[in-house]
Amino acid sequence: MLTPTTGAENWIAYRRQNPRARLRLFCFPYAGGSASLFRAWPDDVPALIDVCPIQYPGRETRLSERPYKHIMSMVQALARGLRPYLDVPFAFFGHSLGAMVCYELICQLRSEGQPEPIHLFASGCRAPNIPDPDPPIHKLPEPEFIAELRRLNGTPEPVLQNTELMQLLMPVLRADFEMVETYRYTDCGLLHCPVSAFGGLNDREVSESDLVGWRELTRGAFTLRMFPGDHFFVHTARQSIVRIVSQVLGLPHHV
């Protein structure tokens, strides 16, 4: 049985101790994703960057925990859990749901008088003030829900065809999509940090204009970069993404 989450979760998984690091990069996965998405990133970033993959409840190292169904509940717990790690400059990278979580986490940290990130990388995610035009899927009957997962192309086909594995993953997948589909934007004021928006050239879920919307949410600089691939270009274009993130965070004035 899944146990309720508390305020003392271990939100960071697969982190490598890095005494040379001068900046932390918190990485937030997409709906249905996990911290292992970023497990190899420390191999490709400069030594001054401490990569901190975020693990949502209900998967991998937190399999016994109940997944969150609402972004704000998870964001409030994240703000508590990450507080000890905000003692050095830090940046956020989030893909899809992860970018939405990043935005709301910045707003939450601001409301608590906590430090804010020096940079936000919003990947594969429309600006949070742009409503999702797609109908919700998290309550669909299982066959239709799996068909939508297949269409989105984010879950490997062998996983979709594995009945036992899908029964294990189904509560997490439905909860994550419920987080996305019940999200309602609330203006917390312009962000102070620069924002880099990343998109997939063949992404049918998030358009270039959806990404450009992030420009309106920050006082800082805005850049847009497009990569080959569909909505899950974060896998296929990983090396290019990591290289650009490293270049941005490696600038002297960022550290």
Instruction: Indicate if 240 belongs to the active site.
Output: no
Encode the chain in three state secondary structure: CCECCCCCCCCECCCCCCCCCCEEEEEECCCCCCHHHHCCHHHCCCCCEEEEEECCCCCHHHCCECCCCCHHHHHHHHHHHHHHHCCCCEEEEEECHHHHHHHHHHHHHHHCCCCCCCCEEEECCCCCCCCCCCCCCCCCCHHHHHHHHHHHCCCCHHHHCCHHHHHHHHHHHHHHHHHHHCCCCCCCCCECCCEEEEEECCCCCCCHHHHHHHHHHECCCEEEEEECCCCCHHHHCHHHHHHHHHHHHCCHHHC
Catalytic hit among 34, 73, 96, 246: 96
Active site residues: 96
